[in-house]
Chains A and B, each alone.
Chain A
Amino acid sequence: MALLEGTNLRKTYRMSRRASVEALRGVDVSIAAGEMVAIMGPSGSGKSTLMHLLGLLHAPDRNDGPPPGLRFDGVDATTLSDRERTQIRARSMGFVFQSFNLVPTLTAEENVGLAAEYAGTSRGAARAAAREALDSVGLADRSTHRPMELSGGEQQRVAIARALVNDPTIVLGDEPTGNLDSARAGEVLGILRTFNRERGQTVLLVTHDPEVGATCDRIIRMRDGVIVGDEGVMPVSAASHADGASLPGYRPGPAIAVEA
């Protein structure tokens, strides 16, 4: 059964009284549990908007077309209140953003712990969970540092720890490697890949980086607000895997994509 299923997803942003942007023009999409999926496309293709709808950050438009459908984990998400959607985001979803988006006044541990508290964990337990999550991304020794005292790669790993602290069903990343050099990007992707493989967490990444796409199981391609391609990624050969052997789970170099 699909973990996330969207039908007739449309979203129009009104920029002013006259101008509006049709970001999504009717998209049907289905993400299976345990998949690691990349949504790719040029700027303005609607890939981020699709992720915002699937991440329950925005609701799909209801007018001007067939009624939209959005189910997450068997729940009809189109009828949920803001409070209910917030609670699903807190407990079952993890978010990673391009610009890390850590709270600047909080330490790494507090940033991660905050997500656990939002999910209903007591403060003490949240701290313990935060330390464990930081340990799992290799940042146990950075827990008392504040974001400005951390490198970009470290900040993004804190953000991943924050996304993973509640052991979510799905992790959504909006250009999670966009602000990182390729080595740091490799680390970040490696961590996501490892969690996907070892804990079965579904991962959905928005990216325009082909190397990120190549790390995933499946690539959804978008252009002008519609899906123009949906393909599986073929497992890479042992030879090309050797190129990135030092980065577990991350396979740089040309990936062979086939039409699904």
Chain B
Amino acid sequence: MRLLRELSRRKLRTALTITGITIGIWALVVFSSMANKINDLVGQGTEFYTDKIIVTDGEAFGTSPMRLDDADAIADLDGVGAVDAQVQLLWEADGSGANFAVPNMVIGLIPGADAGYESFELELATGRALTTEDEGNVVVLGSSLAQEHGVSAGDSVEIRGETFEVLGTLQPTLTSPDTNGLVPLATAQQLYLDELPPLVAEAVVAEDVVNQIVVFPETGADIQAIAAEIEATVDNSATMTGLEFDENIGATTMIFNAIIIGVAAISLIVGGLSVINTMAMSVAERTREIGIKRAIGGSRGRIIRELVAEAGVIGMIGGLIGLGLGAIVVVLANEAGRASGTVLFDLTPLTAAFALGFSTILGMLAGIVPAWSAARLDPVSALRYE
């Protein structure tokens, strides 16, 4: 308490240092929250792609058609447990639904085609799931889509100019299913066909079109070997396994994380230097006071403890304010981005605790050297210091 009062009596300098730390911790909190979110998405992706092979047309990722025959051919391969042939297309025909995060998608599928292999579970919030009996314009909406359109089971929603009945809505998963609308395969096939250029459309049969096949290998099967076999069996196909997902996306994310953490680290180094500077100035300014304290019996250890504690408190206050401001930015940005599905930040308790602990320790470390040199002052010459 006395320490806080002492700091409050040195308002200007304390405030300036705290500002330095605050900016550093603010940057750390905001950037770490962003990294958390991205890692979370990647983690979900890794989980989603584990133990499955995504097969798309090799020429253009997911946009030109394969055929249902291809799915049957894959299902006949050794080690393949189940095949889920799908048609995926953007919710908005003009692509305007795409953004930095996950785009809104319409996914046409045959319910139950995964034959129980899918480990990524979806839970209903309202209504019911799709069944094989469903046909026509019916949809099960992911949580973000449901929120965006303000609908639940029994309402209707417009997709590409057509009215769809909402059969059910899903619980939030914090990843791509939130922005997916699930429709019967035949419905998606028709939507897909409408989108193709007339010349291409003439060459394909609606009931035959798929643009993504999710392959579930049997437990213990060699996923990479099956992927290679699929590419050999189906012309112009491209496969992606969980391993490849990690390699491709994981590498990108790591670079991104490195940049984010680098920015935060630079902010903190600047903040730390500002504490060192302030403490050094504070010690110089208080040379005489330190001399008094030494003369009347303050031990070196005690002087060091007082100054290091002071620096630690400065760091902690800066950390608290930085954390508070960072949290405000995170909450506001997420709130603003939620409507468009762009939830960019995730401020975890671990990040908050780290930021606070780090700022306190940073402050104390920055205070040690000036405190040490202060404690070594000769009391008599310190007393004469003007």
Which A residues lie at the B interface, using CB under 8 A? Answer: 52, 55, 57-58, 82-83, 86-87, 89-91, 93-95, 97, 101-106, 110, 114-115, 118-119, 146, 162-163
Residues of A within 8 A of B5 (CB): 105
Of A95, A102, A119, the contact of B295 (CB 8 Å cutoff):
A95
B 359-386 binary contact with A (CB < 8 Å = 1; else 0): 0000000000000000000111001000
CB contact under 8 A between A101 and B302, given known A87-B297, A119-B297: no
CA distance A114 to B297 in the complex (A): 9
**CB closest chain-A residue, reference B288:** A101
Interface string of B1-13 (1 = CB under 8 A from A): 0100110011000
| Residues on the B chain within 8 Å of A101, using CB | 288, 291-292, 295, 383
B289 at the binding interface (Cβ < 8 Å): yes
Chain B: number of interface residues, binned into ranges: 20 to 34
B67 within 8 A of partner (CB): no
A57-B380, A118-B298 known; 12 other A-B pairs, CB under 8 Å? A57-B295, A86-B294, A86-B297, A87-B299, A89-B296, A89-B297, A101-B295, A103-B292, A103-B293, A115-B297, A118-B297, A163-B296
A52, B296: Cα distance in complex, Å? 12
13 contacting pairs across A/B (C-beta < 8 A): A58-B378, A58-B380, A86-B298, A86-B300, A90-B298, A97-B292, A103-B289, A103-B292, A104-B289, A105-B5, A105-B10, A114-B296, A162-B296
Nearest B residue to A101 via CB reads B292
Q: Which of B270-311 contact A (CB under 8 A)?
A: 288-289, 291-300, 302
Contacts of B378 in A (CB 8 A): 58
Q: Which residues of B contact A91 (CB under 8 A)?
A: 297
CB pair B289–A82 under 8 Å, yes or no, is: no
C-alpha spacing A5/B379, complex, angstroms: 22
Quick one: given A52-B380, A57-B379, A97-B383, are A105 and B9 in contact (CB under 8 Å)? Answer: yes
A90 and B6 in contact (CB under 8 A), knowing A52-B380, A118-B302?
no
Residues of B within 8 A of A89 (CB): 295-297
Check A82/B300 contact, CB under 8 A, given A105-B10, A110-B2. Answer: yes
| Closest chain B CB from A169 CB (angstroms) | 13
Pairs A-B, 3 closest by C-beta atoms? A90-B297, A118-B297, A105-B9
Given contacts A52-B380, A58-B380, A101-B383, contact A106 B6 (CB under 8 A): yes
Which residues of the other chain, B, contact A58 by a CB distance below 8 angstroms?
378, 380
Residue of A nearest to B10 (CB): A105
Q: Considering only CB atoms, which chain B residue lies closest to A102 in the complex?
A: B292
For the complex, give the distance between the alpha carbons of A102 and B289 in Å. Answer: 8
Contacts of B292 in A (CB 8 A): 97, 101-103
- Expressed in whole angstroms, the Cα–Cα distance for A57 and B380 within the complex equals 7
- Chain B residues with CB under 8 Å of A146's CB are 9
Of B296, B299, B302, the contact of A95 (CB 8 Å cutoff): B296
- Shortest CB-to-CB span from A57 to chain B, Å, is 5
Contact residues, B154-174 vs A (CB, 8 A): none
Closest CB of chain A to B22's CB: distance in Å? 23
Q: How far in angstroms is the closest Cβ of chain A from B305? A: 12
* Bound CA span A224–B302, Å: 37
A198 to B238, alpha carbons, bound, how many Å?
Answer: 101
Known: A57-B380, A101-B383. A83 touches B6 (CB 8 A): no
| Cβ-closest chain A residue relative to B376 | A82
CA distance A254 to B172 in the complex (A): 96
- B379 neighbours in A (Cβ, 8 Å): 57
The answer to whether A90 touches B2, judged by C-beta atoms less than 8 angstroms apart, is no
**A105 pairs with B6, CB closer than 8 A:** yes
In the complex, which residues of chain A have a beta carbon less than 8 angstroms from the beta carbon of B295?
Answer: 55, 57, 89, 95, 97, 101
Given contacts A57-B379, A57-B380, A104-B289, contact A90 B296 (CB under 8 A): yes
Please measure, in the bound complex, the distance between the C-alpha atom of A115 and the C-alpha atom of B302, giving whole angstroms. 12
Which B residue's beta carbon lies closest to that of A97? B383
Question: Nearest B residue to A92 by beta-carbon distance?
Answer: B297
Please state if B9 and A115 are interface contacts (CB–CB under 8 Å): no
Q: Are B10 and A86 in contact (CB under 8 A)?
A: no
Residues of A within 8 A of B296 (CB): 89-90, 94-95, 114-115, 118, 162-163
How far is B297's CA from A57's CA once the two chains are assembled, in angstroms?
10
> How many Å from the CB of B298 to the closest CB on chain A?
5
B380 to chain A, nearest CB (A): 5
A89 to B295 CA separation, bound complex (whole angstroms): 7
Which of A83, A101, A119 counts the most chain B CB atoms within 10 A?
A101
| Complex alpha-carbon distance, A16 and B38, angstroms | 62
With most chain B CB atoms within 10 A of its CB, the pick from A57, A87, A94 is A57
CB contacts (< 8 Å) of B298 on chain A: these are 86, 90, 114, 118
In chain A, what residue has the closest Cβ to B8? A105
Interface residue ranges of B287-337 to A (CB < 8 Å) = 288-289, 291-300, 302
Q: Tell me the smallest distance from the CB of A123 to a CB of chain B, in Å.
A: 9
Closest to B292 in A: A101
CA distance A194 to B291 in the complex (A): 28
Residue of B288, B289, B292, B380 ringed by the most chain A CB atoms within 10 A: B292
A146 to B10, CA, bound (A): 13
- The answer on a CB contact under 8 Å between A86 and B299 is yes
A53 to chain B, nearest CB (A): 10
**Complex CA distance for A54 and B144, rounded to whole angstroms:** 80
Docked CA distance A83–B285 (Å)? 25
| Minimum Cβ distance to chain B for residue A43 (Å) | 14
Residues of A within 8 A of B2 (CB): 106, 110
Q: How far is the CB of B217 from chain A (nearest CB, A)?
A: 70
Give the distance to chain B from A100, nearest Cβ to Cβ, in Å: 9
How many whole Å from A131's CB to the nearest CB in chain B?
16
B383 contacts which chain A residues (CB < 8 A)?
Answer: 97, 101
